[in-house]
Amino acid sequence: MGRPITSEEKQLARALLDKARRAMRAIEDYDQAKVDRLCQAVAWATANEKTFTRLAHMSVEESGLGDLEGRPSKRFKIMGILRDALRQKSMGIIEEDPAKGIVKYAKPAGVIASLVPVTNAALTEAGNGIYALKCKDAIIFSPHPASNKTTNETVRIMRATLEKHGAPPDVFQCIEKPSIPLAQELMAICDLTIATGGPAMVRAAYSSGKPAYGVGAGNATMVIDETANIEEAAKNTRLSKTSDNGSGCSSDGNLVVEASIYDRLLEQLQKEGGYLVTDAEKKLLEKILWDSEGHRTTDTIARPAAKIAGMAGFQIPDGKKFMIVKEEHIGKDSLFSSEKLCPVLAIFKYSGFENALEMVRQIYEVGGKGHSCGIYSFNDDHIHRLALTAPVSRMMVRQPQSKANAGAFNNGMPMTSSMGCGIWGGNITNENVSLKHYMQVTWVSRPIPEDRPSEAELFGEFYNTETL
């Protein structure tokens, strides 16, 4: 068990909550136009290229995790969140259904505790902050200790932006010296927690006694059938697998490839910068990625492929950005069929689409159930059958998984940095956590003409038959 919370930490948590509630009261009369303008100001302050690049580099250098060159590209997510927020109402009447006599009114969710993951410092604060501000919530950020400076700097910028425009800065607050007991206390006294991070963090949020949106583990698996555009599939795999050194839960983990195109795809993946490990190197890689009990080793998460190879005891050629492991077995003892969280990819071969579906089922029994999968195919029946079969909350068709399933400018998924995994993943929602999750809704019901079918219509063929 961890240490108990100190009296000073309890007092700090209460002080943060009190300031947050005062800030909410100060903005409760803001109209939609004023709130939208503040959202734009906060988004620009954090997502302009110069600032976000500085914050992204700061987060990589502070934590030692992720890709220094690639992480600044995540700024597009803040812009997408702003786009989605600006196109929706968040106060007053947000929906009307005259036929049912229903009118829905939006209200703030309250004070939100936001647990910031180490790999998304600078993005999570801005994204969650925009959605919270849009709904006139206040939000208190609890940083990961390994990215504490980045989170505090990001929130400092957000607070300064509010103050510059005459709004109370305490709409956004951040714990300066994070600890597990303090985070737990914050979750217990706030109205809602949004927990993006590892399983322990999510379990703590769910056990806080207050409502929480959590996420589940990933193990993204892509089916590539005989109709796929091989060049597109290989390029998108590289984009997804190498994004931030494969640290995202949406990063491609497994490819399930039809036998007739398997060799050509493998060749194309190598042209895209993949390195096909030998059987001997595979054994070395397994030893360095997992400990003797099958747990992922933390010092190999989100590290460059060349560094991981070096730690394992072999070298990969210059220009190779990810490693490809041929795999035939699926199961808890076949560790390469589980989530890798680094630029390592497992590739499986199948014959017959029914076998591909069965392999997908087996992979998600190992891990990642509820999160996401994808398919490269132009066969609508294959797409339909995978959608019916896969125990996931989102499925991308012909898209780079880690850049698409949390929202992209060329698909309709809500923009977010938090993805619910549904009951499969132990979460309350299987949606992308977005604006609707930051508000409460009052349903107003007016009388309508009676809508009562006859008993004969309701019971159908069973009406007036013999009863037991």
Q: Catalytic residue positions?
A: 249
Q: What are the residues whose beta carbons fall under 8 Å from the beta carbon of 89, sequence distance 6 or more?
A: 32, 106
Query: Which amino acid is it at 263?
Result: D
Helix (H) or strand (E) holding 17: helix 7-27
Q: In the chain, how long is the greatest CA-to-CA distance?
A: 79
Per-residue CA distances from 107 to 6, 80, 172, 180 (Å):
34, 23, 18, 30
Query: Which amino acid is it at 214?
Result: G
As a whole number of Å, the end-to-end CA separation of the chain is 57
The secondary structure of 129-194, three-state, reads HHHHHHCCCEEEEECCHHHHHHHHHHHHHHHHHHHHCCCCHHHEEECCCCCHHHHHHHHHHCCEEE
Closest CA to 347 of 218, 397, 356, 271: 356
Q: Check if the beta carbon of residue 169 is closer than 8 Å to that of residue 139.
A: no
Which residues, in sequence order, are bridge partners of residue 372?
394
Distance CA 465, CA 468 (A): 10
Q: Check if the beta carbon of residue 247 is closer than 8 Å to that of residue 66.
A: yes
DSSP 8-state assignment for residue 396: E
Take residue 198 and report the two structure tokens written for it.
């590892």
Q: Check if the beta carbon of residue 349 is closer than 8 Å to that of residue 257.
A: yes
Q: Check if the beta carbon of residue 114 is closer than 8 Å to that of residue 151.
A: no
Query: Which amino acid is it at 71?
Result: R
CA angle 49, 54, 59 (to 5 degrees): 125
Residue 389 main-chain phi, psi, to 5 deg: -95, -45
DSSP 8-state assignment for residue 338: S
Rounded to an integer, what is the distance from CA 447 to the centroid of its chain? Answer: 41
